[in-house]
């Protein structure tokens, strides 16, 4: 099992650890509800160093990115980031990614999901016919997500970058906690604001940065947060989790990701398949679901209509700590995808009432 540079920190804090995407990762510290509310109300620190980072450099780097991604990366200028995905030839999603423009038309960083590092690397390499320089920086890159409404206020004294005014999906490179060349990005997976910081673990920099963050933040309520709360936070926002809500068989159009699929840009992998699906019309859609009767929907549970006929399935579900109700996202046939449509979730052979709602959940 792989380990991040922060593993000893997690163990010393008494974190509940488990394998995730091949890494020994913290699942929870003080409990999911406490950690969830900490991020929504103050700020929390996630170790997400298991994520993958690829750096593409050279004159043909942008052309390669344009060929293999759905969004229009030509719109990126230095210091901007973009949510996108790698579509396959059938229009399914190989992975959802974030592209960082490190130097316009010359150098880019692509952040991929931990479980897809090898798959994504092979996909990029397969299409790299112009010998673009690609570096897999995943093992040498640390990534901490400091998320929550107070995050930037807590961290501002640690950096020379004006993070209080860093716009969403932009980033800057600067000094952080005495460490140079740290990328500070106004991105995240919680919907509560904050930043993500990328840096190389040289000279024990991982421990230095972790310690300084908590020296500054702990007195103000900052806490370490595990992957379990990360999941409940992202689910309240309706954010997709690769492997659950999107995969190689799901179209970006079905998953509500048409906005990152720019069919007006030059040809890219999967474009024809996605155009065909758009022309024919999608037959299912990813929707938000709120339980109206008692019961917690889980991944894989069947969604049925009032007559008991199967109309879809749950991809992610939980008891929402913020909203105090059971919520889920899942795919349903288009005929049942309208807001306020009544549906039923099959929980232990019992049909439990629910309804389709808009996302993010409220």
pLDDT at 236: 98
Task: Indicate the pTM of the whole model.
Answer: 0.97
Q: How far apart are CA 86 and CA 71, in angstroms?
A: 9
Q: Give the fold, CATH level 3, of 52-136.
A: Alpha-Beta Plaits (3.30.70)
The pairing of beta strand 44-47 with beta strand 223-225: parallel
Model confidence band, residue 17 (pLDDT cutoffs 50, 70, 90): very high
Half-sphere exposure of 258 (CA within 13 A, CB side): 11
Please report, for the chain, the start and end positions of each structural domain, with discontinuous segments joined by +: 7-51+139-236, 52-136
pLDDT at 3: 97
Percent of the chain with pLDDT over 70: 100
User: What would the pLDDT profile of 28-85 be if each residue is shown by its tens digit?
Assistant: 999 999 999 999 999 999 999 999 999 999 999 999 999 999 999 999 999 999 999 9
Q: Centre a 10 Å sphere on the Cβ of residue 278 and count the other Cβ atoms it contains.
A: 15
The pairing of beta strand 325-333 with beta strand 310-320: antiparallel
User: What would the pLDDT profile of 75-112 be if each residue is shown by its tens digit?
Assistant: 999 999 999 999 999 999 999 999 999 999 999 999 99
Mean pLDDT of 183-206: 97
Task: Enter the tokens of residue 207.
Answer: 């421990």
Q: How far apart are CA 255 and CA 204, in angstroms?
A: 41
Tell me the pLDDT of the chain averaged across its residues.
98
pLDDT at 176: 98
What is each CA distance from 151 to 31, 157, 234, in whole angstroms?
Answer: 20, 11, 17
Model confidence band, residue 139 (pLDDT cutoffs 50, 70, 90): very high
* Rg (alpha carbons) of the chain, rounded to whole number: 21
User: What would the pLDDT profile of 148-193 be if each residue is shown by its tens digit?
Assistant: 999 999 999 999 999 999 999 999 999 999 999 999 999 999 999 9
Q: How far apart are CA 145 and CA 98, in angstroms?
A: 14
Residues 6+ apart with CB under 8 A from 167: 186
Q: How far apart are CA 269 and CA 277, in angstroms?
A: 14
What architecture is the 7-51+139-236 domain classified under in CATH?
2-Layer Sandwich (3.30)
Q: Centre a 10 Å sphere on the Cβ of residue 77 and count the other Cβ atoms it contains.
A: 10
DSSP state of 242: B
pLDDT at 115: 97
Q: How far apart are CA 182 and CA 197, in angstroms?
A: 7
Q: Centre a 10 Å sphere on the Cβ of residue 265 and count the other Cβ atoms it contains.
A: 16
pLDDT at 231: 98
């Amino acid at each position: 099992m792989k380990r991040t540079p922060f593993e000893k920190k997690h163990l010393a804090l008494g974190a509940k650890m488990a394998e995730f995407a091949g890494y020994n990762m913290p699942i929870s510290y003080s409990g999911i509800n406490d950690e969830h509310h900490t991020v929504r109300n103050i700020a929390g620190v996630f170790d997400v160093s298991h994520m993958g980072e690829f750096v593409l450099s050279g004159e043909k780097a942008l052309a390669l990115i344009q060929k293999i991604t759905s969004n229009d990366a030509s719109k990126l200028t230095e210091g901007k980031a973009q949510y996108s995905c790698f579509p396959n030839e059938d229009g399914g999603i190989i992975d959802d990614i974030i592209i960082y423009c490190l130097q316009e038309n010359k150098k880019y960083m692509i952040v991929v999901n931990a479980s897809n590092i090898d798959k994504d690397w092979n996909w990029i390499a397969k299409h790299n016919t112009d010998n673009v320089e690609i570096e897999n920086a995943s093992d040498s890159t640390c990534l901490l997500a400091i998320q929550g409404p107070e995050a930037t206020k807590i961290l501002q004294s640690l950096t020379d970058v004006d993070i209080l005014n860093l716009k969403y999906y932009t980033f800057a490179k600067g000094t952080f906690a005495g460490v140079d060349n740290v990328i500070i990005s106004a991105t995240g997976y919680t919907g509560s604001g904050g930043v993500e910081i990328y840096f190389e673990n040289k000279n024990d920099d991982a421990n230095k940065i972790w310690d300084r963050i908590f020296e500054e933040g702990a007195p103000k309520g900052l806490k370490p947060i595990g992957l379990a709360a990360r999941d409940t936070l992202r689910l309240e926002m309706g954010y997709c989790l690769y492997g659950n809500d999107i995969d190689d068989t799901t179209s970006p159009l079905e998953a509500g990701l048409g906005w990152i699929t720019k069919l007006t840009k030059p040809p890219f992998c999967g474009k024809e398949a996605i155009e065909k699906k758009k022309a024919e019309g999608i037959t299912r859609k990813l929707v938000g679901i709120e339980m109206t009767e008692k019961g917690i929907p889980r991944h894989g549970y069947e969604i049925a209509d009032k007559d008991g006929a199967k109309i879809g399935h749950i991809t992610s579900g939980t008891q929402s700590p913020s909203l105090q109700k059971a919520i889920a996202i899942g795919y349903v046939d288009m005929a049942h995808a309208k807001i306020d449509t009544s549906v039923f979730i099959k929980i232990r052979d019992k049909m439990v009432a629910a309804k389709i709602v808009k996302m993010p959940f409220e």
